[in-house]
Structure 1
Amino acid sequence: MKERAAELKKEAKHGRDKKAAAGERDVLSKIAKMEAPDRAVAERIHAIVTANAPELSPKLWYGQPAYARKGKVVCFFRSGHVDKERYSTFGFTTEANLDGDSGLWPTSYAVTGLSDEAEETISALVRKAVG
């Protein structure tokens, strides 16, 4: 019985690994199809999120790149071109641990480009969101 339990656990783990790999492929494919300005920002955000929160799994959410913990989306990128908006959005869901002491905290940002300061801000927010 113990051996079978170990097999089931291993099978479940490999299933999650395959699902995570498929999610990564889906996100990278979606990013590659974006128009140049959004693609550059989405590629950079993908690199920032995966470097600062490797425990998050890339997946598509409403057809756009997102990053989830235990299947629940923590943060996401929305293409402005796809949404026919003048800017893209990087945001957080209620799964993110961003609650502030003042009762006020950011949940999304308009993004048209990423300066070094913006990249540092996103890095810090992503680390806090998963902390």
Structure 2
Amino acid sequence: MADKTSENLSQIERDAVKARAKELREQAKAGKNREAGAKQVQEAVAKLEGLDRQIAEAFVALVGDVAPELMPKTYYGFPAYANAAGKVVVFYQPASKFKTRYGTISFDESAQLDDGDVWPVSYAVVAWNDAAEKKFRALVATAAS
């Protein structure tokens, strides 16, 4: 069965799975160490280029300002932030990771952005500007509360 599954994954997906396993081992060693998490996030951002890097840097600064209580960590190599229970709340997936048209800022279930029967949890980001920053400030504040 494992062979069947690996045959269905692209090389990029297989690499992501391997990277995630390594990431989890490193996070287990570091425990809930803010400095170790911040270092992992900075290393992930440093690997990015162009617009991906610009957005990731702005995202990291925004979360640090709006929700300093969230713990920095990486999530499949993405800059991410978790709540006190260790659950990822928000992360940035750069376009370059899976060769997509745009990067996304996404909120996991623990963000509890619930708004009626349907609500968005992932946002395509093609530019970082005042409007984007305002939108994400409000979303991150809600997600962190």
Superposition TM-score, scaled by structure 1 size:
0.83
Q: Percent identity?
A: 44
**What is aligned with 2:101?**
86
Which residue of 25, 46, 51 corresponds with 1:32? 46
Instruction: Give me the CA root mean square deviation.
Output: 1.7
Give yes or no for contact 2:30–2:36 (8 Å, CA) kept in 1: no
Aligned to 1:53: 67
Q: Deviations over 1:55-83 (max 9, x none)?
A: 10110111111100121100000010121
Distance in structure 2 (CA, Å) of the matches to 1:37 and 1:114: 9
Task: Give the partner amino acid of 2:74.
Answer: L
1:76 to 69, 80, 91: 91
2:123 alignment partner, SS class: strand
What SS does structure 1 have at the residue aligned with 2:88? strand
Which structure 2 residue ranges, 5 or more long, are not aligned?
Answer: 1-28
Amino acid at match of 1:88: G
- For 1:54, what is the secondary structure of its paired residue? coil
- TM, length-normalised to structure 2: 0.75
CA distance in 2, matches of 1:16, 1:124: 30
How far residue 112 of structure 1 moved from its aligned partner, in angstroms, is 1.3
Larger Rg computed on CA atoms: 1
Q: Which runs of 4+ in 1 moved over 6 A?
A: 15-18
Q: CA deviation at 1:113?
A: 1.1
Gaps of 5+ in 1: 1-14
> What is the one-letter code of the residue matched to 1:89?
T
CA distance in structure 2 between the aligned counterparts of 1:32 and 1:60, rounded to whole angstroms = 13
Q: Give 3-state SS (helix, strand or coil) of 1:66's partner.
A: strand
Residue matched to 1:3? none
Q: How far apart, CA to CA, are the structure 1 residues paired with 2:57 and 2:131?
A: 17
Q: Partners in 1 of 2:36 and 2:49 — Cα distance?
A: 22
The residue number in structure 1 matching 2:35 is: 21
Counterpart CA distance in 2 for 1:94 and 1:127 is: 15
